[in-house]
Each structure stands twice: as C-alpha cells, then as structure tokens.
Amino acid sequence: MAWHAGCTSSRMADRPKVIVSLPNATEAAAVADWVRSDGFEPVQRSTAQAAANETLLPFALLIADVSHRRLLVESRGRNPVTPTILIGNAATASQGDAFGAQTMYLSRPIDRAMLMCFVAMAILDERPVRRSVRKPVASFEAVANGVPSRIVDVSAEGLRLEMSREWRTALPPYFTVRVPVVGVEVTVQRMWTQTPSTKRSSIWYGGALSNNRASIHQTWRAFVDTVPVIGGSESLVNP
C-alpha cells in the first residue's frame, strides 16, 4: 500500500502530488526532499500566491505555513476534502479562519519521521479499511502507549481515541490501547489523525486492530457487541 522511493521515473506521474508552501527556503527544500524520497511528488512554491495558483490543478496534499491565510482559505474553498498539514503554532492557526477536519498540525522544529507519518496518513489512509458499524460510545477511559485518553467510538475492527494536545508526542504508527473497564489491551495501527472541529484542544486518532491474538480479537468484539451506544444509534459514516 505504501509508496517507496524506488519508484522509477516512468511512474512519476502516478505519485501523489504534494504542494509545499513554506516561507523559509531551506526548510521548504528539506521538506520537499523528504517528501520526494518517500515516493511522493513535491511541488515547491516560493510564495503563497504561487502555491494558491497550483491548487487550481489536482493535488493530494498541501503542506503550508500557518501564516499563509490566503492560500489556506483559497485551497479549502476549492478543495474542501483535500488534506492539509499546517506547520507552526496550532493555537495561532485556530484563530480566525477554520480550516476543517482534514487539517493536521505540526510544530517546529519539524521532525522528519513525524512529518512523513502525517503525509502517509493524509494521503494513503483516505479510505479507511473499516466498513462495519461504528458505535459512538460514552467516552470510556483508555491508556494509549501510557498516555491517558478516551475512546470515542468503536467498531469490530478498530476505534477512535480522543487525546489532549498537551501531549506533544504523537502516537506512533503502531501503539497499544488498554481499556481498564474491560481489562483488555489491544495493538492498534494508526490510520488517521484529525482535529475535532469543536475541540481545538484535543486530537482524534483512528486506528485498526492489528497483530493481536485471536483471543484478544474475540474479547474486543465481545466488548463492541455489548457496549452501550450513545442515543441508541449506530453509524457507518467514516472516519
């Protein structure tokens, strides 16, 4: 499923296009190199207006500085469901314009591994693997890789976690979730990350159960089958 730097030049047109719009030329060049080395096709633009013009053409992801307001508003207006990674202060970004649930935030200094994890999630995880019923639950306490969190909803294949933004270190691609109320601990593959539109102080992680023993899967499914649903309804809406 992943793209690799070993793709040949004949496949360049098939690589997801990533627009890079950052004010610091050195930083922008480094980000473009990282994106390229992981098999994506960066389009580096030196000004916000040039990047905004680039959004007139199809693209898979925008990486931009939080100060580029005009670019962000124009891009969101033309491409409301195309993901964006904002570099800078998330608190600053949350003031004024709302950039939607498809926006992720990464602070400086930029960590390459974290950035590329965000890029992969934004581009490769647009179509979640879960297709069973999602059950919104009454926010169960959980511990994700030792960090306090809450389970917002569950399905037979996975879950959605809510975590405070005060925890600066994002969850890795694979992490463990312990649910004390049922005494189960599962290994989860991170599939996507979002900022709730109504809770800028929180972040959502969507994950799929991965590499667990059959007995763990059975325990999890039993939990999902019996857990009370908020409002008595279930949903198939993604994510």
How high is the pLDDT of residue 78?
76
How high is the pLDDT of residue 116?
82
pTM metric for this prediction: 0.50
Q: Which residues of the chain have pLDDT under 50?
A: 1-13, 91, 93-98, 125-131, 232-239
- Give the domain-ending residue among 124, 150, 175: 124
How high is the pLDDT of residue 28?
95
Q: Is 103 helix (H, G, I), strand (E, B) or coil?
A: strand
- Give the domain-ending residue among 67, 94, 124: 124
How high is the pLDDT of residue 156?
84
Which residues span the domain enclosing 37? 9-124
How high is the pLDDT of residue 128?
43
The domain that holds 22 is classified in CATH as 3.40.50.2300
Query: Is residue 238 domain-resident?
Result: no
The domain that holds 160 is classified in CATH as 2.40.10.220
How high is the pLDDT of residue 73?
77
Instruction: For Cα atoms 69, 88, 127, give the angle at the middle one, nearest 5 degrees.
Output: 80
How high is the pLDDT of residue 34?
92
Query: Is residue 78 domain-resident?
Result: yes
Q: In the numeric block, which tokens belong to residue 203?
A: 């972040």
How high is the pLDDT of residue 223?
87
How high is the pLDDT of residue 129?
44
Measured between alpha carbons, how far is 151 from 147 in angstroms, rounded to an integer?
Answer: 12
Query: Is residue 41 domain-resident?
Result: yes
User: Beta partners for 189?
Assistant: 174, 208
What residues contact residue 109 under an 8 Å CB cut-off, 6+ apart?
none
The H-or-E segment that residue 193 falls in is: strand 184-194
How high is the pLDDT of residue 134?
72
106 shares its domain with 202 = no
Q: Is the alpha carbon torsion for 45, 87, 4, 207 positive or negative? A: negative
Name which of 109, 19, 16, 17 is nearest 71 in CA terms.
19
42 contacts 36 by C-beta, under 8 angstroms: yes
Query: Is residue 2 domain-resident?
Result: no
92 shares its domain with 151 = no
